[in-house]
Chains A and B, each alone.
Chain A
Amino acid sequence: MGEIKKLNFVQAVNLALDEAMTADPKVIVIGEDVADPEGGGVMGVTSGLSTKFGENRVRSSPISEQAIVGAAIGAALGGYRPMAEVMLMNFVSVAMDMIVNHAAKLRFMSGGQTSVPIVIRTMTGTGIQSGGQHSDYLEAWFAHTPGIKVVAASNPADAYGLMHSAIRDDDPVLFIENIPGYWAPGSVESGKVVPIGKAAVSREGKDVTVVAHSRMVSEALAAAQELEADGVEAEVVDMRTISPWDRETILGSVAKTGRLLVVHEAVKQFGIGAEISAVASEELPDKLKVSPKRLGAPFAPVPFSLPLEQAYAPNRASISAAIHELMN
């Protein structure tokens, strides 16, 4: 067992990057403000890396998302393992051509002659009143795209372990971070890698399966705790990887409980909850006691005003209410 460190999410990702760069000289970093003279990342996730590894390997770039992701793709074709930071998830929209048409497809289109082992780190989330262009969860766009993996850790240990896996992976990986969750402390075991494609059962229960990722995991756990008093035992599955999602763990849990609730912060319509619910319905028609339910944001942009924003994403109360509906 490795050394246990008390780290928050920012420190956990930073440690994984530091270790990966130490272990492999091919690991490089590019993005806006990522080097130390510019602050080591707007949230400090890449702090200290340029000082330790030099500004050739850790490059602060112009605000040029296509050029950032393109440079990462090209360097990957040239034999490197770049981590490109696209500061906020909404900014990936500026680099969609590079991510979707190139990073995700080049391995297939070249018949396996080339591959694009890049990690694209990006942060997002409601809860800090950032409004309509700085808060979206867009994971469904990428989960709908063959060739790019999508991960979203809910805690520092998984962030550390998934970053190690993402850097070692030969496919492009989109690494989604939740801003309000950055500073919650956690325990990180040094050297403990979390495999891509493997969900975690965060809490066991026999009555209902709640599937969540990123910040919604802590809301689901709070709801599950609350429901104990009512005699409901909810099992919370933290997806950790959104694509390829862990069918074995999730469907296994649903087969056991017979009830499924999928929760995500992204809008409900055409969100990943639809896919998971559909697959559960297709694969487990005899096990489901009731139709799966989904919770997601309404079909509206993220609002600014505090009460509107608070009403936007699912939370402990709405998750509890949905579970009650499934139980009755």
Chain B
Amino acid sequence: MRNFPKPSAKELLKIYRTASLIKLHDDRVISVLKADKLTMPYYSVRGQEIIPAAISIHLRDDDFVSTIYRGTHDMIAKGFPLDAMWAELAGRVDGACKGKGGPMHLTYPDKGIMLTTGIVGSSLPIANGLAWSALLDESDKVTIANFGDGAANIGAFHESLNMAGLWKLPVVFVCQNNLYAEHTSFKKSTAVEQISCHAASYGFEGITVNGNDANEMYGAAKIGIDRARKGEGPTLIEAMTYRFNGHFVGDSGPYMDKEEYASAVANDPIVALREEVLSRGVATEPELAEIEAQHAEAIEAAMTKALESEFPNTGELLNDVFSIEQQGAS
């Protein structure tokens, strides 16, 4: 294991603060779904919270992120406001996308959240373009492309890695390897043991880390993001993790190995990070309890507001798309 840069005490607490918000948010979405107060395809991020929480320490608001349908953790870490998110999850008019995108297409450009795709593998080619725009701007903006282990078997992944390597694009590819592509295990879908090895084929560094370890994840993200910011090209980070709630909410995961699942849940990364924060004396139990209470309150407020707000008018159907009645205004 290489010698990764380590987070300071303050940074570790910040990672916990973000990861805890992601977890509490995800828990609340699921409870609302199970109470039948909302209907949507929701892909829980529970178990993968540490990855974006650690990455976001190194990011600015103007850095870009593209992510996928399992992506609320990436967005919350990048600063997606809870009000705009909850209203979008609820399909309400004050959602970030006016209720027209939903959970799989959450977008918030003010915080650099440019794309959420429901198509496996499609976050990468577009991330390259965002990175290309930063190069053309001669800015030091960095683009993070998030995707899962399933995406590494899509052609777009390989096309994108080659282009990024070739053009030294300021992009960090973050493969959140949760060991399942829909219902098929990593072992049964991928010919290599580590997805990070693909980077070597395209001329840049690939790193496999424990994505559930805040220290390792912080260090790997810093290496990749610093490299991109300095104009030294892309990095592929394979962050090993595990999803706690199946492919989608309602999937009981009969295809998942029971021992593997029990072991992952027993090693809940949020619990582990909380213990580390306490044991290192970074924060006290009452301080963490206070952070969590504040998160819960903010989530509750955003959710309540969303559920009370209006649905879009049906006239919204024909907004934000050109009309076939259009007659070439010149």
On A, residues with C-beta under 8 Å from B are: 28, 56-57, 59, 61-62, 64, 66-67, 69-80, 82, 97-98, 101-102, 106-114, 146-147, 149, 165, 171, 193, 195-198, 241, 243-248
Q: How far is the CB of A263 from chain B (nearest CB, A)?
A: 21
Our pick among A71, A79, A102, A241 for the contact of B328 (Cβ within 8 Å) is: A241
Chain B residues 290-330 with CB under 8 Å of chain A are 319-330
A220 to B64, CA, bound (A): 50
Which residues on B sit within 8 Å (CB–CB) of A171? 322
B128 at the interface (CB under 8 A from A): yes
Which residues on B sit within 8 Å (CB–CB) of A56? 135-136
CB of A114 within 8 A of CB of B321, answer no
Chain B residues 146-201 with CB under 8 Å of chain A are 155-156, 159-160, 162-163, 166-167
B98 at the interface (CB under 8 A from A): yes
Q: Which residue of A lies closest to B162 (CB)?
A: A62
Our pick among A66, A110, A197, A247 for the contact of B107 (Cβ within 8 Å) is: A110
Q: Which residue of A lies closest to B329 (CB)?
A: A195
In the complex, the 8 A-B pairs of residues with the closest C-beta atoms, listed nearest first: A74-B129, A70-B125, A78-B133, A197-B328, A198-B328, A195-B328, A111-B98, A111-B97
CB of B327 within 8 A of CB of A197, answer yes
Q: How far is the CB of B258 from chain A (nearest CB, A)?
A: 36
Q: How far is the CB of A153 from chain B (nearest CB, A)?
A: 14
B43 at the interface (CB under 8 A from A): no
A sample of 30 cross-chain residue pairs with beta-carbon separation below 8 angstroms, ordered by A number, consists of A57-B136, A62-B159, A62-B166, A67-B125, A71-B128, A74-B129, A74-B131, A74-B133, A75-B132, A77-B126, A78-B133, A79-B137, A97-B119, A97-B156, A98-B122, A98-B125, A102-B122, A109-B105, A110-B320, A111-B99, A111-B107, A111-B320, A112-B320, A114-B115, A197-B328, A198-B327, A198-B328, A244-B323, A247-B327, A248-B327
Q: Which residue of B lies closest to A64 (CB)?
A: B159
Q: How far is the CB of B128 from chain A (nearest CB, A)?
A: 5
B95 at the interface (CB under 8 A from A): yes
5 additional contacts (CB under 8 A) given A59-B167, A77-B133:
A66-B156, A66-B160, A78-B137, A110-B101, A111-B320
Q: Which residue of A lies closest to B66 (CB)?
A: A74
CB of B128 within 8 A of CB of A67, answer yes
Our pick among B105, B136, B163, B328 for the contact of A80 (Cβ within 8 Å) is: B136
Chain B residues 94-120 with CB under 8 Å of chain A are 95-101, 105, 107-109, 114-115, 117-119
B130 at the interface (CB under 8 A from A): yes
Our pick among A59, A72, A76, A108 for the contact of B100 (Cβ within 8 Å) is: A108
B144 at the interface (CB under 8 A from A): no
Q: How far is the CB of B136 from chain A (nearest CB, A)?
A: 6
CB of B159 within 8 A of CB of A66, answer yes
Given A78-B132, A197-B327: A71 touches B163 (CB 8 Å cut-off): yes
Which residues on A sit within 8 Å (CB–CB) of B326? 197, 244
Which residues on A sit within 8 Å (CB–CB) of B101? 109-111
Which residues on B sit within 8 Å (CB–CB) of A66? 125, 155-156, 159-160
Which residues on B sit within 8 Å (CB–CB) of A241? 328
Pick the most buried of B108, B125, B324: most chain A CB atoms within 10 A of its CB: B125
A74 to B109, CA, bound (A): 12
Q: How far is the CB of B229 from chain A (nearest CB, A)?
A: 16
Given A73-B129, A109-B100: A97 touches B323 (CB 8 Å cut-off): no
Q: Which residue of B lies closest to A95 (CB)?
A: B125
CB of A70 within 8 A of CB of B156, answer yes
Which residues on B sit within 8 Å (CB–CB) of A98? 122, 125-126
CB of A107 within 8 A of CB of B321, answer yes
Q: How far is the CB of B176 from chain A (nearest CB, A)?
A: 20
Which residues on A sit within 8 Å (CB–CB) of B240? none
Which residues on A sit within 8 Å (CB–CB) of B126? 70-71, 73-74, 77, 98, 102
Which residues on B sit within 8 Å (CB–CB) of A165? 330
Chain B residues 19-72 with CB under 8 Å of chain A are 64, 66
Which residues on B sit within 8 Å (CB–CB) of A75? 129-130, 132-133, 136
B214 at the interface (CB under 8 A from A): no
CB of B115 within 8 A of CB of A77, answer yes
B127 at the interface (CB under 8 A from A): yes
Q: Which residue of B lies closest to A243 (CB)?
A: B324
CB of B130 within 8 A of CB of A196, answer no
Pick the most buried of B126, B127, B155, B329: most chain A CB atoms within 10 A of its CB: B126
Which residues on B sit within 8 Å (CB–CB) of A196? 328
B239 at the interface (CB under 8 A from A): no
CB of B64 within 8 A of CB of A78, answer yes
B134 at the interface (CB under 8 A from A): yes
Pick the most buried of A28, A56, A106, A195: most chain B CB atoms within 10 A of its CB: A106
A114 to B108, CA, bound (A): 9
B124 at the interface (CB under 8 A from A): yes
